[in-house]
A and B are shown apart, each in its own frame.
Chain A
Amino acid sequence: GANYPLYIRSTPTENELKFHYMVHTSLDVVDEKISAMGKALVDQRELYLGLLYPTEDYKVYGYVTNSKVKFVMVVDSSNTALRDNEIRSMFRKLHNSYTDVMCNPFYNPGDRIQSRFVCLGRAFDNMVTSMMIPVC
């Protein structure tokens, strides 16, 4: 199916395109892992895909929801303070915020979660901001 981003944020904003590219390429890895896992993912552990692949500068983590929405997180390798369970909790928060967005009847699944005018999913955006700032 179409693999377009519902939401993408990066900081710092330089090299943004590179991050976009990395996220996109990591989707293949995510798909690999999903297909390897097989049927319905109900366990939280199965939702979290862990480190997808490391590059020399970055680590890419993946997470997939029950509805096959994929979260990809790229963190700097020099950020050694981030441990696996922290990544997990970040994904969990992402998932919860995403669920809240879904609860909004005005949100159509597949819509971008960023809007030019009034942010649909403002809470989602704020949550992501709060996560990104301490990390960076």
Chain B
Amino acid sequence: MEAAAAAAAGGGCGSGPPPLLLSEGEQQCYSELFARCAGAAGGGPGPGPPEAARVAPGTVTAAAGPVADLFRASQLPAETLHQITELCGAKRVGYFGPTQFYIALKLIAAAQSGLPVRIESIKCELPLPRFMMSKNDGEIRFGNPAELHGTKVQIPYLTTEKNSFKRMDDEDKQQETQSPTMSPLASPPSSPPHYQRVPLSHGYSKLRSSAEQMHPAPYEARQPLVQPEGSSSGGPGTKPLRHQTSLIRSFSVERELQDNSSYLDEPWRITEEQREYYVNQFRSLQPDPSSFISGSVAKNFFTKSKLSIPELSYIWELSDADCDGALTLSEFCAAFHLIVARKNGYPLPEGLPPTLQPEYLQAAFPKPKWDCQLFDSYSESLPANQQPRDLNRMEKTSVKDTADLPVSTQDVTGDDKQALKSTVNEALPKDVSEDPATPKDSNSLKARPRSRSYSSTSIEEAMKRGEDPPTPPPRPQKTHSRASSLDLNKVFQPSVPATKSGLLPPPPALPPRPCPSQSEQVSEAELLPQLSRAPSQAAESSPSKKDVLYSQPPSKPIRRKFRPENQATENQEPSTVASGPASAATVKPHPTVQKQSSKQKKAIQTAIRKNKEANAVLARLNSELQQQLKEVHQERIALENQLEQLRPVTVL
């Protein structure tokens, strides 16, 4: 067998071992390794470990060094390596041709996965073999270990995060490699199609050189971590795989950061940079950091990491602590971290490490900027109190929420009240803050519910976005949305106690309210009257909350719901006035009720119109994105076809 060039490593006519099916990533990795072994000595790879068979003198072989080093770098026991060499046929034919080499690599991968060294083992899909590298800068014959590059082969979704990698690289402890690491960062933009695994010609070599320098150090640091025995003199050559290095490097940087951080003994601890990166990824999938990523979305995303499906499913099992088929931010970070670790060669743990538990992650890391302190304080209470969590998952537990709310209205003091209030506070920004009854809670919780009270549907996101603008200027909008501002002002004052009192009876009747699809808003609507009821006893101004609600109908569906309720309540007001503390004022609401109904109608209609517009926009956006997705798929298929043609024929 002749030595094969890197790109054209052929398998073909291997004698002996049965046909071998290699995945694309494996082919790439193996061909590069082979080329490296071949190139290092100008011929085909020589025999493996010293205990391997003799090399047929006349054939093209390299020194035993490259292959032996490679095999030793796999950190398998010598006996296993011996078996592997035997099985792959090198002993039989006396040298490592491409086929033997590939089979040997595959057997190494199998052995590293814990499978017996058998030919049957390699028939299945395996992770790429991992080779530990010890050190060195230019002296190593092989590039960086397969685990860095081979296993981290395609992580296309990281392309958007190059800038964050840049930052991470900057913070990389290895100052000496800082300049080289910067250069690869420049090249990623030139390698957009790394998803399709088109090798980078340009950035490639730069990456290679930089990564080469980068990796030795982490590996040194990692050697004591992972396997004290394992540091062999050289690592397998996988430099060529670095055409995915923009992604790979991010992982390696992450890993380096992880390794070189103070937690040398805890590979499962997420560093700040990693955390931020994960959060950004989460946001790209799900803008709301307090909401979930659904199972299918997460599956598509993680599948891009090119880990095998069993491994990904195992990672999911570990990270989805509550087994609900969706990932919260912390669960997502844990899963992502496990994937990163796995791609870096760490075996997956038996159980979720304590540093990756959702509670730990939520407490350990402040949430991203936009919701930082509020969400943080909220999330810290999350493990303690199940109810906010339920509120967080409105789609699943909205019924429960509505059931819980009536119970907790008057007695709500702690998290419950805050949680409930927070959803309400969404609708009552300024007024709530001015509300003497609920000043502190609303102020502190104002921003919370915004993210919490909405599930991850796009409609609700749009609603949320729609709600955000109106919240700041409640008063002006109040007058703006209503035709007669004077009436409003007049209405509010006198109706304050009226609505207040009117709210007392209605809450029990609220659930059957005609709120169509958003039960969460039903619950929020319920919350509002109940909450306003709770403090309302004390202050007259609290019902102004409700009025504010009325006044901001166009952009807040919640208020839209409230309006029908308000109409109902107001209709009941005359009859239930007596119980209100401000009984005198209750007489006045009578004439104002009708005015408010008509205004509310207008407000409802405006709200409906705006929602329809938002719907149309989102539908358009959706179709555009679908179109783009189709195009990208086609591109990918075309490129994969090309690659298949160019690639050496699969050893069949």
Contact = CB atoms under 8 A, between A and B. Distances in A.
A119 interface: yes
Nearest to B323: A100
B30 to A, nearest CB: 19
A115 B314 CA distance: 11
A105 B309 contact: no
Contacts of B308: 117-118
Interface string B604-639: 000000000000000000000000000000000000
Contact of B296 (A105, A116, A120): A105
Contacts of A102: 325
A99 B317 CA distance: 12
B311 A118 contact: yes
A105 B298 contact: yes
A7 to B, nearest CB: 14
Contacts of B124: 116-117
Interface string A85-109: 0000000000000011011111100
A24 interface: no
A123 B298 contact: no
A120 B315 CA distance: 9
A122 interface: yes
A105 B325 contact: yes
A103 B295 contact: yes
Main secondary structure of the interface of A (DSSP, over half): loop
A78 B126 CA distance: 44
Contacts of A123: 317
A119 B296 contact: no
A122 B316 contact: no
B324 A103 contact: yes
B312 interface: yes
Nearest to B296: A105
A123 B298 CA distance: 20
B299 interface: yes
B316 A104 contact: yes
Interface size class of B (residues with CB under 8 A): 20 to 34
B304 to A, nearest CB: 13
Contacts of A107: 313
A117 B325 CA distance: 23
Nearest to A102: B325
A123 B318 CA distance: 9
Contact of A105 (B113, B115, B299): B299
A100 B348 CA distance: 19
A123 B351 CA distance: 10
Contact of B295 (A99, A105, A120): A105
B526 to A, nearest CB: 28
Contacts of A121: 313, 317
B143 to A, nearest CB: 27
Interface string B310-343: 1111101100100111000000000000000000
A102 B324 CA distance: 9
A120 B320 contact: no
B324 A122 contact: no
Given A115-B310, A117-B113, A120-B310, A106 B323 contact: no
Contact of B320 (A103, A115, A116, A118): A103
B310 A117 contact: yes
Contacts of A117: 113, 115, 124, 126, 308, 310-311
Nearest to A107: B313
Contacts of A122: 314, 317
8 contacts: A116-B124, A117-B115, A118-B308, A118-B311, A119-B310, A120-B309, A120-B314, A122-B314
Given A100-B323, A117-B310, 13 more contacts: A99-B323, A105-B296, A105-B298, A105-B325, A117-B115, A117-B124, A117-B308, A118-B348, A119-B314, A120-B313, A120-B317, A121-B317, A122-B317
Interface of A: 99-100, 102-107, 115-123
Closest 4 CB pairs of A and B: A105-B295, A106-B313, A105-B299, A103-B325
